[in-house]
């Protein structure tokens, strides 16, 4: 069962034919009988090579608009018969079934049709039946059959056949079978998830066909892999490969910057913003974002939502950073950044992102909808005697965008569309506030006239009291505490405004 298997008969029926010609030509030169269907049959004929139509093998035409072509015992018997089993060999002799040693089959482009916005009818017609059955059959019988389910393997198989007298080893066939079962399971997962959009079954299925091995995980002693297509998301203009931690920070940066429409620059460290500013120009946004916390900005991830020109690049170039992301760059700016080869410069591409999030936890997986809620002025209810000014409302909206993307417990201070300071990931909300006050003071920011946002309600009035004493004039919080009244009374006592939104933004 483990001896090399020489290719005598091959079934070839593929949707994508690029790269197929050299392999087919080699098979024909070696005297392999080629069976094929439809467009692939014509492709082989156009190469001037002999080919037998599957219809001639089965004595049955392609029917139902091509839905049924290969589903026949003479095809599947040729693939599934066990060469070492006498009963199987007697039956294929009796029914004149050729042994098929090689199956080259891919699948209709189901995912591509969904992604392109195809109609329901177009999408349903791209659910492959014959192809998936051929792949599974050949992979199941890997002891005797080679299955090639991807054009990516044409070249590898050709080289093996050239070097091994048109034969394959059991280890090679098993490796191809593994790839084939990945192809079939990925395909079925895509189909299931398409059907599972409406009234979904409560099951978790994900399949990502591309992977990138990372230098290591969160720490050097941990292995790390990214599953996905980074090249679709970003065009890398300079720098080394992204690390696990880089990717986590980049994800946080993208989520944050997408909240802003005006020219905005953000600087993140360990997924938390340490500088954010919106200004008329991206250069001024960079200058003011960096001023928020130039110490934490060192080695951070930078992101902008406007093109980086040479003037902005020159200003950024004075800082050591890990990653810079922008929608576009002036050529001169890219050349400047390339003076330091390790800095990662990413140009962000337009890619639709998933609205779901999931991660492994305990002995399973948790999944949730992304937090896509963002409250504007119309969602703010003033609960104090003092009403926030128009300027404060704009700053509260700005602060709420940042607090939504900062680790809980968090407090954010903002003035004039600039982050002044934040308290991040503290075990109590009052500690988060105290941290933010200390940080603002350490960089010389005047909190008088600034606003404060909290990701969750205040269990006690102490945060409101401390904020007012620091100079805060307006506070945003979701509300919902049984002691909301105490915080409102403290705000009234201190003469500051408070609004509630009814929406909590925990980020753990």
> What tens digit of pLDDT does each residue of 12-37 get?
999 889 999 999 999 999 999 999 98
Q: What is the pLDDT of residues 375-414, one digit of tens each?
A: 999 999 999 999 999 999 999 999 999 999 999 999 999 9
pLDDT value of position 146 = 96
Q: Which of 17, 182, 270, 386 is catalytic?
A: 270
Residue 1: the pLDDT is: 45
Q: 281-338 pLDDT, tens per residue?
A: 999 999 999 999 999 999 999 999 999 999 999 999 999 999 999 999 999 999 999 9
140 is catalytic: yes
- Whether residue 288 contacts residue 263, with contact meaning beta carbons closer than 8 Å, is answered with no
Residue 97 has pLDDT above 90, yes or no: no
Summarised one tens digit per residue, pLDDT across range 188-203 is: 999 999 999 888 898 9
6, 26, 126, 140: the catalytic one is: 140
Q: Give the position of tokens 């091959």.
A: 10
pLDDT > 80? residue 68? no
Q: Is the pLDDT at 358 greater than 50, yes or no?
A: yes
Residues 349-361 have a mean pLDDT of 92
Is the confidence at residue 243, as pLDDT, over 50? yes
Q: Is 405 a catalytic residue?
A: no
Task: Share the mean pLDDT of the chain.
Answer: 93
Two tokens at 313? Answer: 């690049």
CA distance 30 to 164: 12
Residues 209-225, mean pLDDT to the nearest whole number: 93
Which residues, in sequence order, are bridge partners of residue 13? Answer: 105
Q: Are 441 and 490 in contact (CB under 8 A)?
A: no
Q: Rounded to an integer, what distance in angstroms lies between the CA atom of residue 447 and that of residue 418?
A: 12
d(CA 472, CA 423): 15
The CA distance from 308 to 238, in Å, is 14
Long-range contacts of 494-498 (CB under 8 A, 24+ apart): 494/464, 494/465, 494/468, 494/469, 495/386, 495/468, 496/384, 496/386, 496/464, 496/467, 496/468, 496/472, 497/382, 497/384, 497/386, 497/387, 497/388, 497/392, 497/473, 498/382, 498/383, 498/384, 498/464, 498/474
Q: What is the model's pLDDT at position 96?
A: 87
Q: Are 225 and 213 in contact (CB under 8 A)?
A: yes
User: Cα(364)–Cα(355) distance, rounded to whole angstroms?
Assistant: 20
pLDDT at 378: 95
pLDDT at 85: 85
3-state helix/strand/coil string of 9-23: EEEEECCCCCCCHHH
Percent of the chain with pLDDT over 70: 100
d(CA 399, CA 167): 66
φ, ψ for residue 367, nearest 5 deg: -135, 145
Say whether pTM exceeds 0.75: yes
Residue 478 pLDDT > 90 = yes
Write the pLDDT tens digit of every residue in 111-131: 999 988 899 899 999 998 889
Please give the helix or strand (H or E) that residue 382 lies within, else none.
strand 381-382
């Amino acid at each position: 069962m483990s001896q090399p298997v020489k290719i005598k008969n091959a079934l070839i029926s593929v949707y994508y034919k690029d790269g197929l010609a050299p392999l087919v030509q080699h098979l024909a030169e070696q005297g392999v009988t080629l069976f094929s269907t439809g467009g692939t049959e014509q492709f082989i004929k156009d190469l001037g090579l002999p080919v037998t139509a599957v219809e001639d093998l089965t004595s049955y035409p392609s029917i139902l608009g091509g839905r049924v072509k290969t589903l026949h015992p003479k095809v599947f018997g040729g693939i599934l018969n066990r060469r070492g089993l006498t009963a199987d060999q007697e039956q294929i002799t009796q029914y004149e079934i050729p042994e098929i040693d090689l199956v080259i089959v891919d699948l209709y482009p189901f995912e591509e049709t969904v992604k392109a916005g195809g109609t329901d009818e177009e999408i349903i017609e791209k659910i492959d039946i014959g192809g998936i059955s051929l792949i599974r059959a050949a992979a199941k019988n890997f002891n005797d059959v080679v299955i090639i389910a991807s054009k990516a393997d044409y070249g590898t198989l050709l080289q093996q056949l050239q070097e091994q007298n048109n034969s394959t080893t059991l280890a090679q066939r098993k490796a191809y079978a593994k790839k084939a079962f990945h192809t079939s399971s990925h395909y079925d997962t895509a189909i299931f998830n398409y059907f599972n959009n409406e009234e979904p079954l409560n099951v978790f299925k994900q399949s990502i066909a591309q992977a990138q091995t990372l230098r290591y995980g969160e720490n050097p002693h941990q292995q790390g892999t990214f599953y996905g297509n980074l090249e679709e998301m970003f065009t890398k203009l300079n720098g080394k490969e992204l690390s696990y931690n880089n990717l986590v920070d980049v994800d946080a940066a993208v989520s944050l910057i997408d909240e802003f429409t005006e020219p905005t620059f953000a600087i993140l460290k360990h997924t938390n913003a340490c500088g954010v500013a919106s200004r008329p120009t991206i250069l001024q946004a960079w200058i003011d974002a960096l001023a928020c916390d130039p110490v934490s900005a060192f080695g951070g991830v930078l992101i902008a939502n406007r093109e980086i020109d040479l003037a902005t690049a020159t200003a950024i170039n004075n800082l050591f950073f890990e990653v810079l992301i922008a929608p576009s760059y002036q050529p001169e700016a890219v050349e400047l950044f390339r003076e330091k080869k390790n800095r990662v410069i990413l140009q962000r591409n337009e890619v639709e992102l998933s609205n779901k999030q999931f991660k492994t936890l305990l002995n399973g997986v948790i999944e949730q909808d992304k937090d896509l809620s963002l409250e504007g002025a119309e969602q703010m209810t003033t609960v104090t005697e003092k009403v926030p000014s128009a300027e404060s409302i704009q700053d509260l909206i700005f602060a709420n965008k940042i607090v939504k993307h900062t680790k809980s417990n968090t407090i954010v201070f903002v003035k004039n569309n600039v982050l002044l300071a934040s308290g991040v990931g503290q075990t109590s909300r009052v500690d988060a506030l105290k941290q933010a006050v200390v940080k603002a003071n350490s960089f010389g920011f005047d909190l008088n006239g600034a606003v404060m946002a909290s990701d969750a309600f205040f269990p006690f009035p102490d945060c409101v009291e401390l904020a007012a004493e620091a100079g805060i004039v307006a506070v945003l919080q979701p509300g919902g505490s049984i002691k909301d009244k105490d915080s409102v009374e403290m705000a009234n006592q201190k003469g500051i405004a408070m609004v509630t939104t009814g929406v909590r933004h925990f980020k753990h």
